[in-house]
Each structure stands twice: as structure tokens, then as C-alpha cells.
Amino acid sequence: MAQGVVKTYDPTTGFGLIVPDDGGDEVYLRPGSLAGSIFRLLRQGQRVVYDVTTEQNGDYAGNIRVGQEGY
């Protein structure tokens, strides 16, 4: 489980970026990243807790929860 801040998010496409707290590379948001969450939108600067899936093209966020404790 990782924590970070939403850098960008486009609710129309579902794409965006998260800046992780650990200073690592940005993590991608893609359509479906919010699946299973009660939230449908993210705001720039919003704190999130998420799981990271590493794929060939980079790291992707999933199982996103909002807030520092993951509400």
C-alpha cells in the first residue's frame, strides 16, 4: 500500500498521475482505477492511499482510497 497526492486527473478519460510520498516515480491513473471505490472523481492535490501494479509501461494505481488513512 502506498500514499501520495493526485497531480492530475481527467474525469472524462479517467487518466491522471499520482505523486508518491516516498519520492519515487509518478504512478499512472487509468480508466478503471477507481473501480470498487465509492469515489468517482479525484481532485488535484487530494491525498490518496493506493495499491501499485507494475506493468511493462510503468506503475499503475488501483484500489484507491481517499485520505491519509484510506477512507
Full DSSP string of 32-71: TTTTTSS-----TT-EEEEEEEEETTEEEEEEEEETTTT-
In a domain, 71, yes or no: no
Q: Note whether residue 62 is domain-resident.
A: yes
Number of domains in the chain: 1
Instruction: Please give the model's pTM, rounded to 2 decimal places.
Output: 0.86
Assess contact for 28 and 19: CB atoms under 8 A.
Answer: no
Q: Report the greatest alpha carbon distance in the chain.
A: 30
Q: Which domain holds residue 16?
A: 2-66
pLDDT of residue 71: 46
Q: What pLDDT score was predicted for residue 69?
A: 60
pLDDT for the residue 29: 92
CATH number assigned to the domain comprising residue 20: 2.40.50.140
Asked, for residue 43, whether it belongs to a domain, the answer is yes
pLDDT in tens, 47-67: 999 999 998 888 999 888 877
Q: Is residue 18 part of a domain?
A: yes
